[in-house]
Amino acid sequence: MNNLQKEVYYVDKRILDIIRNDFDLVDKKDWYELYQSKSDASYWRLDSWDKYQQRFFLKLDSKRNWTKFDGNELMMNLLLETRGVSDELCVWKDCKNPALNALAYCVYHAYGEIGIRK
């Protein structure tokens, strides 16, 4: 049982321990590693190690085209869930979305334009 209820996680020591204990490495390609859960056979993708980039571990629908899976929506939702929103509006021109906590931008502009991941 791997206890991963969500479909995307920031990679930290806890996640790396879970991967080591509960997953099998299936493939490695294009800066990604493909893992399969020992408990439910689901496929997950891990970003290869990079000291400048936040790494993610995310659940895939299948292993078909696994390196091409678009994880942006999952990663954006994780950013939103982790930060939460404030009472301020995003400062991007004409944007009416709430800004993320401790940031001047909403999740779309923080993620898409500024490149914030966490």
- Give the footprint of Zn ion on this chain (CB under 5 A): 90, 92, 95, 97, 106, 109
Measured from the CB atom, the residue of 57 and 92 that comes closer to Zn ion is 92
C-beta of 70: minimal distance to Zn ion in Å? 21
Shortest distance, CB of residue 7 to Zn ion, whole angstroms?
24
Through-space distance between the first and last CA atoms of the chain, rounded to whole angstroms: 27
C-beta neighbour count of 95 within 10 angstroms:
15
Distance from C-alpha of 53 to C-alpha of 35, rounded to nearest angstrom: 20
Distance, in Å, from the CA atom of 81 to the CA atom of 84, rounded to the nearest integer, reads 5
The minimum distance between CB 88 and Zn ion, in angstroms, equals: 11
Q: Which is nearer to Zn ion, 35 or 92 (CB)?
A: 92
